[in-house]
Every structure is written in structure tokens, then in C-alpha cells.
Amino acid sequence: MSIYMQLKYKTKLSDKEVLKKVFKELKIIYQDHNDELVCDINYYELHLKKNKGGEYEIRTKGYNDWKEEIIDFRKKITDYYNKLIQNNQQKEICQSIKTKVAKSSSMSLIQEETLEDNSIVLTISV
């Protein structure tokens, strides 16, 4: 028997702009209402709102037998979110290194290569 109830799920998502990029890239239709993002998923509306700790929670009203579908949605966006965060951090680190090399008269960037696993190799002459 299904029970209609308030459902709430915690996440570790905190960056609104990255989350919006996740939705866009995964083709998830959403609306941005200042302090929350609202997604239409199948038969229900999911509200992502930041809690006091600065992380988004997924909130909805619905039947308890939807739980598995919402948990799958949370996993899907969390995995993609973490991938984007990691890529952004990698780009920032590479840019920082390249900036330091460019400012140094004793170093120069010889080559920059992105490998199949998306890791980046910088070859620097000292």
C-alpha cells in the first residue's frame, strides 16, 4: 500500500552553478527560484533547497514507493556533479601551475597533453 507523504533526502551538493550545469548536461528540466531549484521528474516535482549546512536537500511530496526512483536520481546527479567538480579543480590547478611557470624566467612550458583518462600532463623545462 502506498502512503502519500513528505519525502526528504540529503545530498553533499553545495554549488548551485555546478548543479545547474549538471541538469543542463543531463537534460533535466528545472526552474531556478532564488533559493531553490525545482525539477520535474516523471510524475513529481523535486525541490532542491539548501539546508543550514549549505548543502542541498531533495524534497518532495509523494508516495513512499517513489523512494527508489528519487534515490537513483540523487545518485545520478551526485556522480555527475562530483565529476564536474573534479574536472574544475584539475583545470584550476593546471592554470595555477601554468601561471607560475609563465611568471618565472627560469621555467617554460614545453608541452601540455590531455590523456585518455582526462588527466593532464604538463612538461616544464627548468
CATH label of the domain that carries residue 31: 3.30.310
Residue 1: is its pLDDT beyond 60?
A: no
**pLDDT value for 71:** 83
- Higher-confidence residue of 124 and 61: namely 124
Say what the pLDDT of residue 32 is: 93
Model confidence at 2: pLDDT above 70:
no
pLDDT, tens digit, 9 for 90 and up, residues 18-69: 999 999 999 999 999 888 999 987 777 889 999 999 999 988 877 667 778 8
Question: Exposure string (b/e) for 100-122, b if CB count within 10 Å is 16 or more?
Answer: ebeeeeeeeeeeeeeeeeeeeee
0.85 exceeded by pTM: no
Residue with cell 583545470: 91
Q: Which of 97, 95, 99 is nearest to 87 (CA)?
A: 95
Q: How many residues does the chain have?
A: 126
Mean per-residue pLDDT, 60-85: 84
Return the pLDDT at 64.
67
- Backbone conformation region of residue 54, classed left if phi is above 0, alpha if psi is from -120 to 50, else beta: left
- What is the arithmetic mean of pLDDT over 91-115? 88
Query: Is the pLDDT at 114 greater than 70, yes or no?
Result: yes
State the total domains in the chain: 1
Q: In this predicted model, which residue has the larger pLDDT, 78 or 5? A: 78
- Domain span at residue 65 reads 4-125
